[in-house]
Structure 1
Amino acid sequence: MTGAEKSAILLLYLGPEATAKVFSHMDDGDIKRISQSMSKLGHVPREEIAQVVAEFTDITNPETGFFSQGEEFVKKILEKALGPLRAETLLQEIRTSGIGDMADILSTMDARTIANFFSQEHPQTIAVVLAKLKPKQTSEIISLLPQELQAEVVIRIAEVDQVSPEILAEIDEVIRVELTALGGVQRFKVGGVEKVVDMFAHLDRSREKKILDKLDTMNPPLAEVIRKHLFTFEDIFKLDDRAIQSIMREISNDTLTLAMKTSVDEVKDKIFRNISSRAAEMIKEDLEVMGPVRLSDVEKAQSEIIKIVRKMEEEGKVVIAGRGAEDVLV
C-alpha cells in the first residue's frame, strides 16, 4: 500500500471528526491524494486494516472489516475541515482524478510544440487547457499562437470559471488522438481574470498592448477589467518620486482627493511629499471635512488616474517597469 492508501484507511477508521482535524493541518495536495485514495478504497479487508492500525485489531470485525463511505464521507470531512467552497473545489478535482493530469505532462513540453499543436484547435479548447498551466508557460504559448487566436484565447481564459467533467472528457478525447502520450485531464478550477493578469505579468509590454488593443474591439468591458487589475491605484506610488511628481501634475485636486479617500497613510504620505505644500494642505483639509462617499465613486476617481498614467506611459512620459526592473521617468 502507498502512504496515501494507508493514511486513507487510518482516517476512515478514526472517523470524520478526527479526519477533519487532521485535514485542517494539511495542504491541499496531501488532502487530495488521501481523499482520492478514500474514494477508491471500497471494501477494506481486516488484514489490510491490521497492517495500518494493528493496535485496534481487537475492536475491528475480523470478518467484514469496514466499507468506505466513499465520496460522501470525503465530502463531509472536507466541508468540516475546509469549509464548503474550498471543499467543493477539491472534490471537483478528485471526481475525475483518475483520468490523469495533462498539465503535468505539458509542463515538460516545449512551448512552440504546444502552440503548433493547438494552433488548429478551437479557442475554447485552447483556453481550458492553457488555464491549467502556470502563468509563465501560458504566456509563452499564447505569444506563439497565430495573432488572430491570441485575444480570442485570452477572452475565454478570463470568462471560463469551472469546467464540468463531461466537457473535459470530450476535450481529452479530441486531443488524445494526436497526442496519445498525454492522457486525460482532471476536473479543475480554471480561468478567471486573475489567471489572465498573472499571464500578462510574463508578457512583454508590446505584446500586452497588442492583445489589449484587440480586446478593446472584441470585448471592451473585459479589456477595462484586465487593465484595472494589471495596474492599480496603489501601484502608482511604487514609482520613484520624479515619476509621481510628473503624474500628479496631470491630475486635478478634486479627483486626487476623492481617489485618496480609502488610501492607507503610506500612500497619502507619499502623495503629500510629491505635491506642493499648499496643495497638500488643501487636500488634507478636504479629506477631514469630506463626509461618507460611495466606494464606486472612489474607484471611479482611481480609475481615471490609472487611465492618465497609462496614457502617459503610451506617450513615453513615464515608464512603468514593475516586472523585475526599476521604475524610471524618461
Structure 2
Amino acid sequence: MTGAEKAAILLLYLGPEATAAVFEHLDDFDIKKISQSMSRLGHVPREEIAAVVAEFTDITNPETGFFSQGEEFVKKILERALGPARAENLLQEIRTSGIGDMADVLSSMDPRTIANFFSQEHPQTIAVVLAKLKPKQTSEIISLLPQDLQAEVVIRIAEVDQVSPEILAEIDEVIRLELTALGGVQRFKVGGVEKVVDVFSHLDRSREKKILDKLDTMNPPLAEVIRKHLFTFEDIFKLDDRAIQTIMREVSNDTLTLAMKTSIEDVKNKIFRNISSRAAEMIKEDLEVMGPVRLSDVEKAQSEIIKVVRKMEEEGKVVVGGRGADDVLV
C-alpha cells in the first residue's frame, strides 16, 4: 500500500471537513496523488482501515468497512479546499489515466541519473517533464544539467503554459523506455514564471545568480520578470521601518546575527535602527567576535527570515512590494 493510498483511507475515514482542512496545507502534486487514490479505492476492508488508523478501529463498522465515494467525494473536497477553478484543473488531470505515473517514477530516481538522461534532449522536452515535478526536485536536476543547458531549460519552463496532445505524444515516444507514458487527451498547466520562481527558491544563491546572469544575455525580459518575482533577504530592508520592526519581532537574535554576516553596511544600519538599542549592541558585539562561518549557514538563516516574511505576508501583517504593494492601507 502506497503512502497516497494510506492517506486516502485515513482522510476518507475522517470525513469531508477534516479532508478539506488537510488539503489546504498540501501542494497540488500531493493533492492530486491522494485524490487519484481516493477515486480508485472502491471498498476498503476493515483490516486495511485498522492497519492505517489502528487506534480508531473501535469506532469503525467491523463488518463492512466503508466504500469510498469516488470522484463525487473528491470533487466536493477539492472545491471546498481549493475553490471551483483550481479544483476543476486538478480533476481534469486526475481523470486522465497515467498523468501522475511519470512524476511517480521520477520521484524515486536519483537526480543525477535523470539529468544524465536528459542532457542530450531538447530543452523543450526537458522543460515539459521537469515542470511536472516538485520544485525542489526540479531545481536539483537543473543544477546537474550542463551549464549551457540550464538557462535554456529555465526559459522553456517559464514560457510553456499548456501542453498539446501532440507534444505529449512526442515526449512519450522519446522517453517511453526510461520513464512512463505521458499520454493524454487534454492540455495541462505545467509551467510558467511562477514555476520558475518556485524552482529558484530551492537553488543556492550562487547557482541562482549564474542562471540569471545567463538569462540576462539570452532573454533579458524574462530575467527581469523573474527578478521581480524573487524575494531576497536584502529586499526585506527595502520595506518601510514599521514593516521591518514587525518582522524583527518574529526573528530570534541568533538567527538575525548569522543572517547579517554577509550584509552590507546599509542593511546592517537599517536593521539596527529598527530593533531595540540593547539588541543592536548585542548583535554588533556578536558580529565582531564571530569567526568564519559557512556561507550555506548564512543563507539558511536568511532563508528562515524570508519564510517568516512570507508567512506574515500571507497573514496580512506585512505587504511585500510586487504583491499588494499598490493596495492602500488605512
TM-score (norm. length: structure 2): 0.51
- Equivalent position SS for 1:242: helix
- Offset, 1:4: 10
Q: 1:153 to 1:278 in 2, by over 3 A?
A: same
- Give the stretch that moved more between structures: 242-251 or 289-298: 289-298
> CA separation in 2, counterparts of 1:65 and 1:156?
48
* C-alpha displacement of 1:47: 19
In 2, are the aligned partners of 1:212 and 1:223 still within 8 Å (CA)?
yes
Shift of the 328–204 alpha-carbon distance from structure 1 to 2, 3 Å rule, reads farther
Q: Do the aligned residues in 1 keep the contact of 2:237 with 2:267 (CA within 8 Å)?
A: yes
Give the whole-Å Cα distance in 2 for the aligned partners of 1:47 and 1:300: 44
**Contact 2:127-2:153 within 8 A present in 1 as well:** yes
Q: Give the 3-state SS of the residue equivalent to 1:89 in structure 2.
A: helix
8 Å CA contact 1:95, 1:187 repeated in 2? no
Distance 1:194 1:263, change over 3 A: farther
CA contact 1:101–1:184 (8 Å) conserved in 2 = no
Seen in structure 2, the aligned counterparts of structure 1 residues 64 and 155 have a Cα distance that, compared at 3 Å, is: same
SS of the residue aligned with 2:196?
helix
TM-aligned CA distance change 1:295 to 1:77, over 3 Å: farther
Larger Rg belongs to: 1
Residue by residue over 1:63-89, the C-alpha shift from the partner in whole angstroms, topping out at 9 and shown as x without a partner, is 999999987896577546642222122
TM-aligned CA deviation for residue 133 of structure 1: 2.4
Q: Is the Cα–Cα contact under 8 Å of residues 320 and 328 in structure 1 kept in the other structure?
A: no
Structure 2 stretches of 5 or more lacking a match?
none
Q: What is the deviation of 1:245?
A: 15
The superposition leaves residues 186-226 of structure 1 with CA deviations (integer Å, 9 ceiling, x where unpaired) of 98643232322232233333332221122112221210121
Q: Rate the CA distance shift 1:328–1:64 in 2: closer, same or farther, 3 A.
A: closer
1:4-55: CA deviation from partner (whole Å, max 9, x where unpaired): 9999999999999999999999997897568647867999999999999999
Any stretches of 5+ residues in structure 1 without a counterpart? none
Q: Call closer, same or farther: CA 1:259–1:85 in 2, change over 3 Å.
A: farther
Q: How does 1:1-330 map to 2 (within 5 A)?
A: 32=32, 36=36, 78-79=78-79, 82-164=82-164, 167-179=167-179, 189-231=189-231, 235-237=235-237, 273=273
Instruction: Label 1:323 to 1:103 Cα distance change in 2 as closer, same or farther (>3 A).
Output: farther
* SS of equivalent residue, structure 2 residue 69: coil
Q: CA deviation at 1:140?
A: 2.2
Question: Contact 1:97 / 1:186 at 8 angstroms: preserved in 2?
Answer: no
Note if contact 1:132-1:190 (Cα within 8 Å) is conserved in structure 2: yes
Provide the secondary structure at the position in 2 that maps to 1:25.
coil
Q: Residues 104 and 65 (structure 1 numbering): CA distance in 2 closer, same or farther, change over 3 Å?
A: closer
Judged with a 3 Å threshold, the aligned counterparts in structure 2 of structure 1 residues 60 and 89 are, in CA distance, closer, same or farther, namely same
| TM superposition shift of 1:60 | 22
**Preserved CA contact (<8 Å) 1:36 1:97:** no
State how many pairs are aligned. 330
Compare 53-62 and 154-163 and name the one that shifted more: 53-62
Listed one character per residue, the Cα deviations across residues 260-307 of structure 1 (whole Å, up to 9, x for unaligned) are 999999999957927999999999999999999999999999999999
RMSD over aligned Cα, in angstroms? 14.3
Distance 1:49 1:326, change over 3 A: closer
Partners of 1:50 and 1:75 in 2: CA distance:
26
Structure 1 length-normalised TM: 0.51
Post-superposition offset of 1:242: 18
User: Is the 2:39–2:70 contact (alpha carbons within 8 Å) kept by the matching residues of 1?
Assistant: yes
Give the whole-Å Cα distance in 1 for the aligned partners of 2:251 and 2:23. 51
| Larger mean Cα displacement after TM superposition, 239-248 or 198-207 | 239-248
